[in-house]
Amino acid sequence: MTDASTRNRVKERRTAVGLTQAELAERAGISRSAVTAIEGERLAPSVTAALAIAAVLGGSVEELFGQAASTNSPEVWAWNPTDLSGRCWRAAVGNRTILYPAGATPMLTPLPDSGSSSLSTTADETLVIACCDPAAGLLASQFAAVTGLRLLVLPRSSRQAIEMLREGLVHLAGLHLATKEDPDRNSQVIRESLGDGFRLVRIARWQEGIAMSPTAKHRSVRAVVKSNLTWVGREPGSGARQCLDRILDGRPAPARMTRHHQGVTEAVQSGWADAGVCVQLASAEAGLHFLPVQEEAYDACFPDSLSDDRRIKAFLSVVRSPAYRKLLGELPGYDTSETGNLWNVN
């Protein structure tokens, strides 16, 4: 629970001077949703935003924000660490500093911070996305090269990513539950899980399908389903599991499970399973035979209240850049014709 001494006084001062949230937002040069989030302690303002708000309301930053304006935001673990080394990544999310244990290595990221909180200033320069995109490392590299900021990628299924976003543990959640048959599914899931006040940015359309041994003789999805094969599955809530359920059409889910696309390909490569569902890129990188099943829309979701966060702005700039779109479009199974499109979930 937030102590009274650490709560900001923006709403109290705004009401006292007779301004609406919209008026404060316009005069301070920020969005109304950002004002709402700041007043509700869901967003820690940048230095620039804090100074602008203070100037409009006629007070000092210290008077309005107190300890919330300091760099000593409360630190919480995203999940319990398995060792006591203190090695972790730090990121400022809302008015907290989230610590991500280094034991679960993200897909691609710089070395973790040390156990000392003296490096916590890097938290303001770290953007965190939970997703299962096998090309997320490419985005992280491009993000760092272009912006000088850090993108931390946490491998999670679509539903797991949404849950982390709901709990305020990440800035962005990647999901790929929308298909040509159900094009609004990503927005629908966000509305059902999180409500209004969120945005989706299209990263790509990609192919999801069946990965099999390169020596497999099956040339159609129907032939694969009719065969007596050992399948490896994904957890409920993942886009791959949604696709697999469609393929199996009421048959029991596989007993053997893995947690990500690369896990599916590793299971097939090792002979632990004969077939599994993953995106085409993961199958191609593993040198496996791939049968496409459906095209999916892969989007990244973030709260509208973070629209003015410089890390989100940098993320959108990189995603929309011709250089990134070209790199992503050259990968197997990725269609970037809609990359960078942005819309509100309402």
Please name each of the domains of the chain with its CATH number: 4-69 (1.10.260.40), 75-191+305-331 (3.40.190.10), 207-296 (3.40.190.10)
Token duo for residue 249: 């059409």
- pLDDT tens, 176-230? 999 999 999 999 999 999 998 999 999 999 999 999 999 888 888 889 988 888 9
186 against 49, higher pLDDT: 186
What span, in angstroms and rounded, lies between the C-alpha atoms of 17 and 3? 25
- pLDDT tens, 285-323? 999 999 999 999 999 999 999 999 999 999 999 999 999
**In 3D, which of 269, 264, 267 has the Cα closest to residue 280?**
264
Section 275-290 average pLDDT: 95
- Out of 50-54, 95-99, 112-116, 268-272, which region has the weakest mean confidence (pLDDT)? 112-116
State residue 64's pLDDT score: 83
Q: How many CB atoms lie within 10 A of CB 217?
A: 9
Asked if 114 and 86 count as a contact pair (C-beta separation under 8 A), the reply is yes
